[in-house]
Structure 1
């Protein structure tokens, strides 16, 4: 179960973009965040401190040894929660709102892709399925998918000279009615 402070920290839209940048590019300097995310350095610094306080990122040394710059990296690569994990009604409400924000983010990304995909040489995919499962079996599916995605990411050689673009993958598993 995620601490509620982690969930509230990562559900802010700019912080989510910071996390995404760190996932794709690794340790990043504050000025680079500001330029690539079109935000003020002061705002970026504030959001980095919020993520650091939640234990999501940590400050690291400049790769070139320049102590005048501030570099950051992720302390973890994934987050998972359910509003049902929280006994406190206030925490459960925060977790539900974070889930809603996360789904909005996912759907916004998907809609942006569909708006530009006809003119793109890249293709995406759409997949879904339906089956029977217990709660433990659904959690097992989640763990297997997370492991598969970690294996997939670690198997990509980014230095092999091939053109790569950031790829976003999301999946939901939940009880439903038919």
Structure 2
């Protein structure tokens, strides 16, 4: 899962460019230490391809404490809604989730405590604050801390809730096929291809997808003010199918 969360081991820079951007990665990490402005200034001076690679290399991996802070069904739903719809208030989230504003407000504060959301500057009042997801993405490393039962349970729960949210959107799309807004009737597709390939071939497919995403999808973020634009999700799942016998070993 790309864009905002990926339950796979994080990847660094490719071998072909690692040596050429090692210094840039170090500078970018220094920029992270200085805050968002420092990172933005550092990345601004890099070429497009190298900048994307550095951003990937410095993508934050969610640590055990933050992961356990996220491990609540309602918090995952709130994070998912903020990613899909953009900034919302606690009241607005409550209406979408069928929860009280007091409940969503509490969970928003917990998400903010662990660095997943933040208040929107210059918008709202002391009584009605607006919240947004933190910019950039994060990685949930499914193999990290697998020996720690609490972290393993938190990882499984968060991944399951994000996947449930995706599936709910797919079913909503299928159920509303006859209610799609004009101009959007034939724009979506759900496709599956069953292959028998090697681990190296799968790695190349995922790398090609990431290249495509950087080139074609990332420039389309933050188009809330573009006339005719609406929330859209793009899914790309590529993973080895687990044989039932493997799961019983």
What are the ranges of 5 or more consecutive residues in structure 1 without an aligned counterpart?
none
Distance 1:102 1:33, change over 3 A: closer
Q: Which digits, 9 at most, give the CA deviation of each residue in 1:108-129, with x for residues without a partner?
A: 3212221221443523212344
What are the ranges of 5 or more consecutive residues in structure 2 without an aligned counterpart?
1-60, 244-249
Matching of residues 98-177 of structure 1 within 5 Å: 98-120=158-180, 122-123=185-186, 124-129=188-193, 130=195, 131-134=197-200, 137=204, 140-141=207-208, 143-144=210-211, 146-147=213-214, 148-153=216-221, 156=223, 158-162=224-228, 164-176=229-241
Instruction: Give the Cα–Cα distance (whole angstroms) in 2 for the partners of residues 19 and 138 of structure 1.
Output: 28
The aligned residue for residue 129 of structure 2 is 70
Bigger Rg over Cα? 2
The aligned residue for residue 140 of structure 2 is 81
Larger mean Cα displacement after TM superposition, 28-37 or 49-58: 28-37
TM-score, structure 1 normalization:
0.73
Matching of residues 20-59 of structure 1 within 5 Å: 20-59=80-119
Q: Which digits, 9 at most, give the CA deviation of each residue in 1:48-89, with x for residues without a partner?
A: 01211221011243426x444322222134343242122433
Distance 1:69 1:172, change over 3 A: same
Could you say what secondary structure the match of 1:166 adopts? coil
Q: Is the 8 A contact 1:29 1:71 kept in 2?
A: yes
Instruction: Give the Cα–Cα distance (whole angstroms) in 2 for the partners of residues 59 and 69 of structure 1.
Output: 11
Q: CA RMSD in A?
A: 3.2
TM-score, structure 2 normalization:
0.56
Instruction: Give the Cα–Cα distance (whole angstroms) in 1 for the partners of residues 66 and 208 of structure 2.
Output: 23
